[in-house]
């Protein structure tokens, strides 16, 4: 027997669909919907990468990690600003590694509070 989708001559796997249409139906609820492969793009990450185009993706990920952790813990915007100022070196440059260390400390403190 053939798949119940019009113009599909593949053999039935389950529920009247071939393997491709059955998988689409399970994923989306509609066997005719075709989705792009791979992860959905993180628009905030893309924006941050463009804003810090002179920095590596790894460096930008450190910045994003800090903001993600700070947001999950519930730190206010003014507190985030104070914490990011702690990552400024004496010569005025920004230390993304220091910011990553601050994020680690925030995470550890939040775990201690839970216990």
pLDDT digit string (tens) for 55-106? Answer: 888 888 888 888 888 888 888 888 888 888 888 899 988 888 898 898 898 8
What pLDDT is attached to residue 9? 87
pTM of the entire structure? 0.55
* Structural domains counted in the chain: 2
The rounded Cα 25 to chain-centroid distance in angstroms is 25
Residue 16, domain member (yes or no): yes
- Angle value at C-alpha 79, between 62 and 75, nearest 5 degrees: 75
Same domain, yes or no: 33 and 65: no
Residues spanned by the domain of 26:
1-38
CA 59, CA 98: separation in Å to the nearest integer?
Answer: 11
* 59 and 107 together in one domain: yes
Over the stretch 38-53, which tens digit does the pLDDT of each residue have? 777 778 888 888 888 8
Tokens of 59: 């460096």
Mind giving me the DSSP string for 22-62?
HHHHHHHS-TT----SSPPP-HHHHHHHHHTTTS-HHHHHH
Residue 62 lies in a domain: yes
Q: Does residue 49 form part of some domain?
A: no
Do 59 and 31 sit in the same domain of this protein? no
């Amino acid at each position: 027997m053939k798949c119940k989708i019009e113009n599909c001559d593949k053999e039935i796997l389950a529920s009247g669909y071939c393997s491709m249409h059955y998988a689409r139906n399970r994923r989306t609820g509609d066997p005719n919907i075709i989705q792009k492969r791979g992860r959905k793009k993180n628009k905030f990450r893309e924006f941050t990468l463009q804003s810090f185009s002179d920095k590596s993706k790894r460096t930008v990920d450190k910045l994003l990690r800090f903001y993600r952790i700070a947001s999950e813990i519930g730190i206010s915007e003014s507190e985030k600003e104070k914490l990011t100022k702690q990552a400024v070196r004496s010569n005025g440059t920004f230390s993304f590694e220091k910011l990553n260390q601050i994020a680690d400390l925030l995470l550890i403190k939040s775990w201690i509070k839970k216990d």
